[in-house]
Amino acid sequence: MMKSFVVAALAGVLAVVGSQQAGAPSQKDVTVLGFRLHYIEAGTGAPVVLLHGLGGDSSRWAPNISELAKDFHVFALDQIGFGQSDKPLANYNTAMLAEFLADFLKAVNVSKASLVGNSMGAGVALYTAVHRPQILDRLVLADGGGYRTPSATAPTPMSADALRRRQLQNSTTREETREYFRILFHDKSLVTDKMVDEQLAMRLRSAFTISKMQEAGDRGSLSEDEVRGVKTPTLIVWGRYDELVDPRGADRLENAIAGSRKVIIDNCGHMPQIEKPAEFNRFVREFLQGRVDRPSTAR
């Protein structure tokens, strides 16, 4: 049952159920800076915006939207350049995505929201916490949201493994897509033929955006001092077996952001919201509700 649900999530299949039911998920569009942004909206209460990772879209939150919408007003955004949102030929970077996010909130009449980001989406959320803290309530960083460390030495060349993973991030064949998603998931059985086909199609639609994000370098990156200045209440969630982003990144963020709390989810890879949705939803809900009785590890 869980496997079929995860496949549906990755396929972007979110049925618009019960159109007469208040707060039921609905797919919408809004114009920001002259471009169309697509999003899924559900629930009522305090606003929460879900931000997907590189090459993804709002379907990455299908196991979470309805659950979180029981307590919150949820917006799952196709970030500019991804999914069904417009894809301007621009120099994409984290700062640009954060700019569109801030204007998106204005467009949907939300003055302040909590941000929940996975991977690249966590980077966008953290950038917003640094540069526009006044529009944030709470912050959840899942397997992403790093910062640069000043170094007196020249950057070291990327290893062959790192270069391969960079290539796979912008996969253009089924073989590459399968290899990449076997890195993302701890449970390799989740990488089915159907999922590979759907994810390849999704990534090809955003290939230009992915390439530009890869080329961005330090544009839109954050310094350690900037991250240490974050005052927004922050929860850091990481899959213990994340093969893409070292789980020690959670420790680094916890040490940098005063008062932040960390949760490590066992038997889980880079996308805990999909691989372990029950645990992820519980930790995020409790944090957004201001509860503090959270363990540091989920098994």
Active site positions, annotated: 270
User: How much of the chain is in helix, strand and coil states, percent to nearest 5?
Assistant: 40, 20, 40
For residue 185, the tally of other CB atoms under 10 A from its CB is 22
Structure tokens at 171: 């996969």
Taking phi first (over 0 means left), then psi (-120 to 50 degrees means alpha), and beta for anything else, what does residue 141 get?
Answer: beta
| Nearest of 209, 238, 258 to residue 298 by alpha carbon | 238
The string of DSSP letters for 189-207 reads GG--HHHHHHHHHHHHHTH
- In 134-260, DSSP assigns E strands to 136-142, 234-239
Side-chain-side CA neighbours of 6 within 13 Å: the count stands at: 21
Q: Kindly state the tokens that stand for 251.
A: 């420790």
DSSP letter at 152? Answer: S
Angle of helix 94-107 relative to helix 120-131, nearest 10 degrees, comes to 70
